[in-house]
Amino acid sequence: MSSREREGGPAPALGSREFGRWIWRQLTSMRTALLLLLLLAIAAVPGSVVPQRGVDARAVEAYMTRNPTLSPWLDRFGFFDVYTSPWFSAIYLLLMVSLIGCILPRTRVYLKALRARPPKAPKRLERLPASATFTVDASPAEVASAARDVLRGPRFLPARVDVVEDGDSSEVRVEKGYLRELGNLVFHVSIVLVLIGVAGGALFGYRGAAIVTQGSGFANVLTQYDEFASGALFDPDDLPPFSLQLDEVQARFWTDGPQRGAPRLFRAAGTVETEPGADPQPFEIRVNQPLGVDGTSVFLVGQGYAPVLRVTDPEGNVVFDDAVPFLPQDGTYTSNGVVQVPDAEPQQLGFQGFFLPTAVVGEDEDASVSIFPGAVNPIIGLFAFEGDLGLDDGTPQSVFILDKTNLTQILDEDGENFRISLSPGQEAELPNGATIEFADLRLFARFQVASTPLVELPLVAISVGILGLVLSLVVRPRRTWVRSRRGSAGTVVEVAALDRVPRDDLPDDLDDLLERLADALGVPASVTRSEHEENDQS
């Protein structure tokens, strides 16, 4: 049985055309497909061991600082961006080429086979994996019509039956299970469509994160995002011009029971204007329930506390009065934050410290900790700095980092770092005469605004693909022949069946077929089973 693989053996000195065709046949062979699949699995592993920029950029930076010698090499070979790296992309693109190269010819063959009639019975039926012979009195024509009724199959899924009769012999040819190949092709095509959908979504889509404090608003423009990533073909002025006003943020936690302190409800609510001037409609966003605004969705992916701080500079004028988001670091919302006060005179002021929603004084006096995420006893603890915040030297400043290159820490009388510790309503005065007041406590919501165009394509494609896959795994293509010849002692009937996909219950199916044939011919079942011998399966 010569198969494609053997013909494609080591090519003798071929011309470039034959060599090209040989390479193509190798690329689209089942063996190559299998090897590429296994290679794809292996290539995906590093992405789960080393942090990925696409997944968590901060974790990559932390990893780099932890192993400075290894990281540059990892970076050079794309280990921080495995899934967009050239070597990973090469594997799945090659797999797609092989897939398309494999599907097209098989589709052609399939379409031809759709019109083809069941093949002629092989000369020596008894050499087939399951065959039987018996003798009846009925004429070859009667046997043929009985066989046709038995083998026709259900009306919704009829098998293809041909009957050839001439004088004293007849042959019934039956083929069923066309849906298998169709299912297989549908499944493989769906993979290509999923890839196109995912790639399209990535190229044209964008994802941005923005922190919005209670009472303030957010306009969907590039500058208002803290983080923003978009596909190569994304054009910023395609951003849908909606804006939202965040009136309320709720973060409730279990106060009792085994899950004390675990999150119970996160909710953000307010009004949204789909475009400037449109009348605002109310919206509510919860975890798992995003807000959809013409193709873009706003997801609630985080929340935290934003103490409102009022700062007066040494000359007495209020230079800062706003809510400052402090980023939660753990389950009890111990949060870190920074306050930048560029308008203070004579020198700019900066504060850095922590916020504890339910502060409890630890053993040593100054290290208090937060024991519960709800704001039962909020405390803000800050260190103060003065000098130049370095905001206007052009480099983009993250609002969460205090650039201390030319800042000096403010000290108290005995030279220690000046420490501010305020609960709501309290005010502290710095040695240089500036004051800072913990005026109010608000919550902030961390929104993820994302749009993945074509998101329906991969979803629909993989769902249809699964149907095809199930068909290709369930439907079993099978050819059955019933040949009868008028002999001296009556009509000799030969029955045989061939499965293109090996199945072990072929012998039982044959016995069942013989019994149904006996009924159709009105003879006792023993007649059709008497000379039945079953070739060894294995």
Contact status: 98 vs ligand HEM (CB under 6 A): yes
**Close Cβ partners of 67 (under 8 Å, ≥ 6 residues apart):** none
Nearer to ligand HEM among residue 104 and residue 164 (C-beta): 104
Measured from each CB, the residue nearest to ligand HEM is 102
Choices 27-35, 80-88, 123-131, 407-415 (CB under 6 A): range interacting with ligand HEM: 27-35
271 interface partner picked from ligand HEM, other proteins, none, CB below 5 to 8 A per type: none
In angstroms, give the least distance from the CB of 299 to other proteins: 4
Q: What angle do the packed helices 16-27 and 86-115 form, to 10 degrees?
A: 90
CA-based torsion, 521, 523, 527, 529: positive or negative:
positive
Q: Which residues bind other proteins (CB under 8 A)?
A: 3, 5, 30-31, 33-34, 37-38, 40-41, 44-45, 47-48, 51-52, 54-56, 59, 82-83, 198, 207, 254, 257-259, 262-266, 286-290, 297, 299, 301, 331, 448-450, 452, 455, 458-459, 462-463, 465-466, 469-470, 473, 504, 537-538
Which residues, in sequence order, are CB contacts of 3 under 8 Å at separation 6+? Answer: none
Here the tokens at position 455 are 């998101």
Residue 346, preceding bond cis, omega within 30 degrees?
Answer: yes
* Residue 416 DSSP label: S
Question: Distance between CA 310 and CA 3 in Å, rounded?
Answer: 82
According to DSSP H, which parts of 77-210 are helical? 86-115, 140-151, 178-204
Q: Which stretch binds ligand HEM (CB under 6 A): 51-59, 96-104, 275-283, 304-312?
A: 96-104
* Residue closer to ligand HEM (CB basis): 102 or 298: 102
Q: How far is the CB of 496 from ligand HEM (least distance, A)?
A: 22
Interface of this chain with ligand HEM, residues 180 to 209, rule: CB under 6 A: 184, 188, 191
Please report how close the Cβ of residue 151 comes to ligand HEM at its closest, in angstroms: 23
Of 416, 420, 413, give the one whose Cα is nearest residue 349: 420
Q: Are 525 and 514 in contact (CB under 8 A)?
A: yes
In the list other proteins, ligand HEM, none, the entry touching 257 (Cβ below 5 to 8 angstroms by class) is other proteins
Span from 92-100, 157-165, 389-397, 447-455 in contact with ligand HEM (CB under 6 A): 92-100
14 vs 30, beta carbon nearer ligand HEM? 30
Q: Which of 60, 82, 99, 174 binds ligand HEM (CB under 6 A)?
A: 99
Q: Choose between 179 and 454: whose C-beta lies nearer to ligand HEM.
A: 179
Q: Which does 154 bind (CB under 5 to 8 A by kind): ligand HEM, other proteins, none?
A: none
Would you say the C-alpha torsion 217, 228, 61, 43 has a positive or negative sign?
positive
Residue 133 or residue 296: which is nearer to other proteins going by CB?
Answer: 296
What is the CA angle 141-142-146, rounded to 5?
A: 120
- Among other proteins, ligand HEM, none, the one that 299 touches (CB under a kind-dependent 5 to 8 A) is other proteins
Quick note: the x/- pattern for ligand HEM over 466-495, rule CB under 6 A, is ---x--xx----------------------
28 binds ligand HEM (CB under 6 A): yes
Handedness of CA 380, 383, 388, 391 (dihedral sign): negative
Q: Can you tell me which residue has the tokens 């399939």?
A: 110
* DSSP codes joined into one string, 287-345: TTBPEEETTEEEEEEEEEEEEEEEEE-TTS-EEEEEE--BEE-STT--EEEEEEETT-S
Q: In angstroms, rounded to a whole number, what is the distance separating the alpha carbons of residues 69 and 67?
A: 6
**Stretch of 95-103, 115-123, 287-295, 381-389 lying at the interface with ligand HEM (CB under 6 A):** 95-103
For ligand HEM, the binding residues (CB under 6 A) are 28-30, 33, 37, 95, 98-99, 102, 184, 188, 191, 469, 472-473
